[in-house]
Chains A and B, each alone.
Chain A
Amino acid sequence: MGNFFSLVQNENMKIYRRVRTWVMLGILVVVNLVIPLLFSMVDSEGATSIWDSVILSSTFTFFLCTIFSVIIAADSVAGEFSWGTIKLLLIRPWSRSKILLSKYVSVILFSLLCTVLLTGVSLLVSSLLFSGSADSNMFTPGKSGLVFTLQYILCDYVNLFITVAIAFMLSTVFRAGGLAIGLALFIMFTKGIFMTLFSPERYTWAKYLIFTHMDLTSYLQSDVGPGGITLGFSLAVLAVYYIVFMAISWYVFKKRDVAA
């Protein structure tokens, strides 16, 4: 019965036919052009390497990338409810699970597009502006700049991926895009505070908190995180949270009575 790909195509159409999507992508490109430029003006010695520039600009712009992905995720389900189009969407010969999956896939595709765009632009601009080969203080000695940068961006993406899952769940559960965006961004910006308040060094239970594990970049410097946790442990905790978020989203979406 039909082709799942056409559902994803529909969801993509609803993302990319909107002006705001292109505004967001435009902002992402511009910011990734400007930050290496600014950085090159400050860098008087000309010793900075490409990778330093890429990593520095991505630490800024990944915030934007996450915010934009969260906005798309939050609107994906909640938008259908607030527009009233959910009534037309759910009376097609498709199970609700598949419809929700198509929405989730389109959100993930958007976040990947943002990430590739961000990495691509900042790599391009940085390679034009910087040629220095100074040993970076950011890198682990002995690692190539390219590998480190890619790993760094992968860690950032994991962070984004979890934040987007939270936004997607909130959007499905509360059907309110604003609330989902607000809460997801709140978690994104305050997880540092939670980490300092509830450090696994002080409380053993804190190592089961999601906040402790969302930022994996610390594992690029050392194998053991705060309180003796390891990368494997962090990934396992994130996976459990992720599965729970998805299970809640799917359960609620399937069971929900769609009324005006």
Chain B
Amino acid sequence: MQHEPVVRLEGVTKKVSSKTLVENVTLDIPPGQVFGFLGPNGAGKTTTIRMMVGLTSISQGDIKICGYSIKEHFETAVSNVGAIVENPEMYKFLTGYQNLRHFARMMTGITEARIQEVVGLVGLNNRIHDKVKTYSLGMRQRLGVAQAILHRPKLLILDEPTNGLDPQGIRELRDYLRLLCHEEGTTVFVSSHLLSEMELMCDSVAIIQNGRLIDVRSLKDRSADSQSAAIETGFLVDDPKKALSILEGAALQDSMITLKITRDEIAETNARLVQAGIKVYGIHTVTRSLEEQFLEMTGGDQIG
């Protein structure tokens, strides 16, 4: 029961005339996670999200949200979803509050107190009664988040939610998403190409390129294996050439000596270098960031 996926994409394909935008994507999103959806521009992230919320039709396959097909039981399926798809466009001639009232009326059981609570959460208390046309991009983004979480959805889908937010806002959003996820058990599905952001925010990521899912991985276990596993470590030394000759299996990378060793070996290696009369200026753990892994996997440049 617990591990019944919140979202199930079953061989989802989207074709527009003869072009295939998303091809045979099969993906289960487990509950209570912040799940990242990564991909270069034009990979098909937004297209997939549009299909998940029923904005566009699914050419082949099906998407089930909390067990309900978005094709057959749209209303039940979508009542579990809160979303921002691309930019959070709101009614500009209405105030932020009226916008929220508008969306609250379309769903059941949203009280006035809940609206106030959400306004507080996104930090718009001071401006909520201003017209949306006077809002900055970041404020609109916050209002977008507010309308998405209004009905406490089981699944929150955010398409590039950090777009336009200031560092403070990004931080708050990140903390808030984690809170939602861990306290209320909301599953959060975020798409982004801001990789460092995703790394901080997500429990797992799926990587999509040219409409195809190329990898799904968990980001949690990276910190778990720190004790005994070999870690890529870099030594900043005054004489890299000499150091290279002493240490077997080491490589020179940007004037740093790198080698893959365990924690105990780091200390030993350091001692050996010092004994050989090499000055050690610094020791760093070289983590390959998600960004590097991502670029490696997607091959960097080509927009598909």
Contacts and interface: CB of A to CB of B under 8 A. Distances in A.
A13 B102 contact: yes
A227 B71 CA distance: 51
Nearest to B92: A83
B75 A10 contact: no
A94 interface: yes
B202 interface: no
Interface residues of B, number: 34
A9 B87 CA distance: 25
A92 B86 contact: no
A87 B89 contact: yes
A23 interface: no
Contacts of A17: 93-94, 98
B107 A92 contact: yes
Nearest to B83: A91
A89 B75 CA distance: 13
Contacts of B90: 85, 88
Q: In this complex, which of B57, B83, B91 has the most chain A Cβ atoms within 10 angstroms of its Cβ? A: B91
Given A90-B55, A91-B78, A258-B50, A6 B106 contact: yes
Nearest to B85: A87
Nearest to A2: B108
Contacts, number: 83
A259 B48 CA distance: 11
Interface in B74-124: 74-76, 78-79, 81, 83, 85-94, 98, 101-103, 105-108
Interface string B39-56: 000000010001001111
Chain B interface, DSSP helix/strand/loop, else mixed: loop
Interface string A113-124: 000000000000
A93 interface: yes
Contacts of B16: 257
Contact of A259 (B56, B75, B88, B102): B56
B12 to A, nearest CB: 14
Contact of B57 (A2, A83, A94, A257): A257
Q: Report which residue of A19, A93, A95 has the largest number of chain B beta carbons within 10 angstroms of its beta carbon.
A: A93
B106 A10 contact: yes
Interface string B161-200: 0000000000000000000000000000000000000000
A2 B110 CA distance: 11
Contacts of A83: 89, 91-92
B147 interface: yes
B83 A93 contact: no
Contacts of B89: 83-85, 87-88
Contact of B106 (A14, A87, A94, A257): A94
Contacts of B86: 84, 87, 260
A35 interface: no
A143 interface: no
B91 A2 contact: no
Contacts of A93: 75-76, 78-79, 106-107
A260 B83 CA distance: 16
Contacts of A255: 57
A38 interface: no
A26 to B, nearest CB: 17
A84 B103 contact: no
A259 B106 contact: no
A89 B89 CA distance: 11
Contacts of A257: 16, 50, 55-57
A258 B101 CA distance: 23
B107 A2 contact: yes
24 contacts: A1-B108, A2-B105, A2-B106, A7-B105, A7-B106, A9-B105, A10-B105, A10-B106, A14-B91, A18-B93, A83-B91, A83-B92, A84-B86, A85-B91, A88-B147, A91-B54, A91-B83, A92-B103, A93-B76, A94-B75, A94-B106, A258-B55, A258-B56, A260-B86
List the 8 shortest-distance A-B pairs measured between CB atoms, nearest first: A84-B89, A93-B79, A257-B56, A92-B106, A6-B105, A258-B55, A93-B75, A91-B53
